[in-house]
Amino acid sequence: RQIDLAQKALEIALQILKPNGNFFVKVFQGDMLSDFIGRVKKHFRDVKVIKPRASRAKSSELFVLGLRLRAV
């Protein structure tokens, strides 16, 4: 599932990003999306969910942007 790839990307980002680093990933709307966003919010000070203007209205494409990784 695509959300599993996004979760793996988050895990890798948490290993390599320095404090205050940013994370950006493409996701698709689905039943696990809110759980994934919650996990991103645990680690980043600010989280934005972005639907690009160029994306078709029917498309479930979204981007999740995590800003300023919290220090561990």
What b/e readout covers 16-43, taking b as 16+ CB neighbours within 10 angstroms? eeeeeeebebebeeeebbeebbebbeeb
Structural domain total, the chain: 1
Q: In this prediction, what percent of the chain has a pLDDT beyond 90?
A: 76
Domain of 38, in residue numbers: 2-69
Read off the pLDDT of residues 17-60 as tens digits, 9 standing for 90 and up.
999 999 999 999 999 999 999 999 999 999 999 988 777 777 78
Residues serving a catalytic function are 26
**What CATH number corresponds to the domain at position 45?**
3.40.50.150
Tokens describing residue 13: 């980002």
Average pLDDT in the chain: 93
pTM: 0.89
**What DSSP designation does 67 have?**
E
